[in-house]
Amino acid sequence: MAIACAVVTAAASGLLLPIATAPSAKAADDFRPQLVTVDTPSRAAKEKLAALGLDLTEHAGHDFTEVVLHRPADAIALQMAGLSWEVRIPDLVERESEVNAANRAYAAATATSPLPSGRDSYRRLSDYNDDLDRLASLRPGLVKKFALNHRSLEGKPVYGVEIAHDVTAAEDGRPVFLMMGLHHAREWPSGEHAIEFAYDLVENYGTDERITALLKKARVLVVPVVNVDGFEKSVNDGQLIDLRAIDGGGTGSILATPGNAYKRKNCRIVDGLTPLANECALASSPGGFGAGIDLNRNYGGFWGGPGAAAEPADATYRGPAPFSEPETQNIRELISTRQVTGLITNHTFSNLVLRPNGVAPDTVGPDGLPVGNPPDEAALKELGDRMAQQNGYTSQHSWELYDTTGTTEDWSYNATGGFGYTFEIGPDEFHPPFPEVVDEYLGSGQYAGKGNREAFLLALESAVDPESHSVISGKAPEGATLRLKKTFATPTWSGTIKDTLDTTMTVGEGGSYTWHVNPSTRPVVKARQIEVISSEPLKRQTYTGTTTPTQPSDQEFTVDRAADVLEVKLDWATPDDLDLYVFRKNADGSLSQVGSSTGSVGEKERVLRDDPEQGTYVLRVENWASVAPSWTLTASLYDATADEVGGVIENWTLSCEKDGKVLEQVPVVVDRGQRVKADLKTCAKKWGTS
């Protein structure tokens, strides 16, 4: 924890002034909401900051987190924690609604935007519902509107569309791709991109060979607004008053807007209780804090673990139980009843393509073993990298942004095996000027003609590729209902919940069927690889020194040979707190951070780097809260061997049914990229007599 002097920017002079004592009553009256950049160079440092209960934004890098200070007590909390920061915007309330003005100007000057729908402004909830109706009426043989199983807390239906060649036909075994938006209410572009992809597919079917072929091979589900209650409050308030500035990437002005313009969560006011009429609209949620449950921490997979808050007022509050909310129940049931072989859930912002898992692989999970990397890490990374090449985003693990549990892919990937990704759309704002929404979807600059549109198409192509999922084929009576089902325990961070996957298809003419499905064994129970480091190092170097507060100490270490692991350990004699950062020196002398460790007081620091590139590394020690700051630093190179832990094989139960009566059941074991044959001969024999 840094003892470094915290600073704020004096609005008038630009001078850096220390915060020393609690402000007077007059100073408190004069305090204006501020955007500050807090030094958080590691996951542990971010956890320290999160524990203060302040208004953290999602704009965070390797060594910083942007935070909104709404009152003097917020600044005092930072100071008392010993965290250092700088003010980026000293008075957010003075900012006028530049973005709303820019949007109005864009709409006035634009008859039809380049987007597939031609839209030139953000949609409200009624606009989304109208567009879903419009898509279904435009191509009734291609598009089918549907309502999800649960209405929202305020009683609103949640709608989506299914898009496919001969969409009204019975389920025919095609793989399913799911596109979602607006889990988080304030992230308006996430819904815009989802519905624009729907327009793209519908308008280009029959004329674009690529899209036509994809819609003959797949069924595409689009749910543009998952959090209908929260989004309605956000967009209604945000289009009336939005005290934001074009400030070069800062988020403070947008989060300082009063009301619900930047509401993050759903409309749950009290756990387990339905909100009263208009209660959610009146419960102001500046910066995403306040009432509500973070839907992207409420899914069952690893629910209750790192990166999900237990306190209801926190922005990442996970809720009282897994799947406690109708919105997450909707998505759970949608995925559990369809063979979703690929999905994208859209969010804003940070220009990222994130893949599972949500916690770092060396995190000890609820089973007492390291979580490890997903068994499909190589394939997940390959697709993520290809998508990022289209939009210029960074492809990375979710945990490399910060730890999360209870997210959509924490559950969906580990429960079904279907590949899932989070897109964090845009560089620096939750809902930027609308022209940026256009550019992010279609691509601009060197990514013109690509953008998220091309990335989405790559994801859809992966979802229909049999090498990315599994195939069951064989013979069964024409018109029979085939059912794939399994029930299992999904691990949370403190126990398990019961999950059931139950999907059906209808056997077509001729009695032959082909069913594109997810693997029978869930990723969460498959054997996973963890690295076991050799006992003797290939190379080791030790450094000693003393670091005073605010003055980092750098040492250089050269990786001059092939090695599986670079380990850097920081130790000191006192029970105080030092932190460790590891950088790789680039050819131009600049530094790229490749690892960090910032534990709590008394916890020693350690950084591991797999397959380190050869070259020079800078090892940095910072004094966060040490009164006797002498330390020992050890850098070592090791060989490592892969050790396989866990691992079971699961099967689907395949049933052949007529009029709800089961005529035959067989177990089916099928892995990713595998095709198996299952001829249902007993069902055929019983078919005519049942």
* Statement to judge: residues 553 and 640 lie in one domain: yes
Chain position carrying tokens 């898509």: 135
pLDDT of residue 603: 60
Residues 153 and 241 in one domain: yes
Q: Note whether 322 and 407 are within 8 A (CB).
A: no
Q: Do the Cβ atoms of 352 and 191 come closer than 8 Å?
A: no
The CATH number of residue 553's host domain is 2.60.120.380
Contacts 24+ apart (CB under 8 A), 660-665: 661/690, 663/480, 663/687, 663/690
User: Residue 335 and residue 340: Cα distance in Å, rounded?
Assistant: 6
Rounding to the nearest 10 degrees, give the CA dihedral for residues 402, 407, 409, 415.
130
- pLDDT of 104 strictly over 90: no
64-69 and 55-60 beta bridge pairing: antiparallel
Asked whether residue 208 falls in the same domain as residue 225, the answer is: yes
Cβ-based neighbours of 77, under 8 Å, separated by 6 or more: 52, 53, 54
Quote the pLDDT of residue 683: 97
pLDDT above 50 for 215: yes
Show which residues are catalytic: 424
Please name which of 463, 465, 427, 411 lies closest in space to residue 675, comparing C-alpha atoms.
465
Distance, in Å, from the CA atom of 412 to the CA atom of 374, rounded to the nearest integer, reads 13
Tens of pLDDT, residues 216-266 = 999 999 999 999 999 999 998 887 755 444 333 334 444 455 678 889 999
Chain segment 570-601, per-residue pLDDT in tens: 998 766 678 888 899 999 998 887 776 665 45
- Could you tell me if 68 and 55 are in contact, meaning their C-beta atoms sit under 8 angstroms apart? yes
Which of 468, 495, 510 is the last residue before a domain boundary? Answer: 468
Residues 683 and 581 in one domain: no
* Residue 281, in any domain of the structure: yes
The most confident of the ranges 29-43, 379-393, 394-408 is: 379-393
> Would you say residue 555 lies in a domain?
yes
272 near 385, Cβ under 8 Å? no
Which residues constitute the domain of residue 640?
531-645
Domain boundary pick from 421, 446, 468: 468
- CA 187, CA 147: separation in Å to the nearest integer? 22
Helix, coil or strand: residue 424: strand
pLDDT grade, residue 408 (50/70/90)?
very high
Contact 354, 421 (CB under 8 A): yes
Distance, in Å, from the CA atom of 234 to the CA atom of 219, rounded to the nearest integer, reads: 31
> What is the pLDDT at residue 43?
64
495 and 549 fall within a common domain: no
One domain, residues 262 and 388: yes
pLDDT of res. 665? 97
* Assigned domain for 416 exists: yes
Structure tokens at 501: 């996957």
- Range 446-451 average pLDDT: 97
Q: Are 120 and 109 in contact (CB under 8 A)?
A: no
Alpha-carbon span 521 to 528, nearest angstrom: 13
Q: Are 272 and 329 in contact (CB under 8 A)?
A: no
Which residues sit opposite 56 in a β-bridge? 67
Looking at the structure of the chain, the number of domains it has is: 4
513: amino acid identity, one letter: Y
Which residues make Cβ contacts (< 8 Å) with residue 462, sequence separation at least 6?
A: 342, 383, 419, 468
Name the burial class of residue 407, with classes exposed (0-12), middle (13-18) and buried (19+) by CB atoms within 10 angstroms of its CB: buried
- Does 578 reside within a domain? yes
Mean pLDDT computed over 533-544: 91
pLDDT classification of 123: cutoffs 50, 70, 90: very high
5-58 confidence digits (pLDDT tens): 222 222 222 222 223 233 344 444 566 667 788 988 766 677 778 788 787 665
State the average pLDDT over residues 482-493.
97
pLDDT tens-digit readout, 635-687: 999 998 777 777 899 999 999 999 999 999 999 999 999 999 999 999 999 99
> Residue-wise over 178-216: b if at least 16 C-beta within 10 A, else e?
bbbbbbbbbbbbbbbbbbbbbbbbbbbbeeeeebeebbe
Same domain flag for 413 and 516: no
564 and 628, same domain (yes or no): yes
- Residue bearing the bigger pLDDT, 51 or 469: 469
- 305 pLDDT exceeds 60? yes
Q: Report the pLDDT averaged over residues 557-564.
A: 94
CATH of the domain at 59: 3.30.70
What value does the mean pLDDT of the chain take?
86
Over residues 340-376, the pLDDT tens digits come to 999 999 999 889 999 999 988 878 888 888 888 899 9
Q: What is the mean pLDDT of residues 441-463?
A: 98
d(CA 197, CA 343): 13
The per-residue pLDDT for 181 is 98
31 lies in the same domain as 163: no
pLDDT tens, residue by residue, 415-434: 999 999 999 999 878 888 89
Cis-peptide, bond into residue 357, ω within 30° of zero: yes
Q: Which of 89, 116, 142 is at the close of a domain?
A: 89
The reply to whether 478 and 336 lie within a common domain is no
What does the pLDDT look like over 604-641, one tens digit per residue? 787 777 789 999 999 999 886 566 678 999 999 999 87
* 188-204 vs 451-464: helix crossing angle, rounded to 10: 70
Task: Report yes or no: 250 and 278 within 8 Å, Cβ to Cβ.
Answer: no
Output the six-digit token pair for 130: 């109208």
pLDDT at position 247 is: 35
Query: Structure tokens of 56?
Result: 């953290």
CA distances from 47 to 306, 317, 393, 602, 673 (A): 9, 14, 25, 16, 39
SS (H, E, C) 591-656: EEEEEEECCCCCCCEEEEEECCCCEEEEEEEEEEECCCCEEEEEEEEECEEEEEECCCCCCEEEEE
Task: Confirm whether 234 is domain-assigned.
Answer: yes
Do residues 595 and 664 share a domain? no
Instruction: Give residue 625's pLDDT.
Output: 59
Domain presence at residue 102: no
Mean pLDDT of 445-472: 98
Query: What is the H or E stretch that residue 383 is in?
Result: helix 377-391
Answering whether pTM is above 0.85, one says no
> Is the domain of 641 the same as that of 654?
no
User: Is residue 378 helix, strand or coil?
Assistant: helix
Q: Which two tokens mark 588?
A: 């131009």
Residue 586 covered by a domain: yes
CA distances from 662 to 479, 542, 657, 668 (A): 14, 69, 4, 16
Residue 598: burial class (beta carbons within 10 Å; 0-12, 13-18, 19+): buried
Q: Would residue 94 count as lying in a domain?
A: no
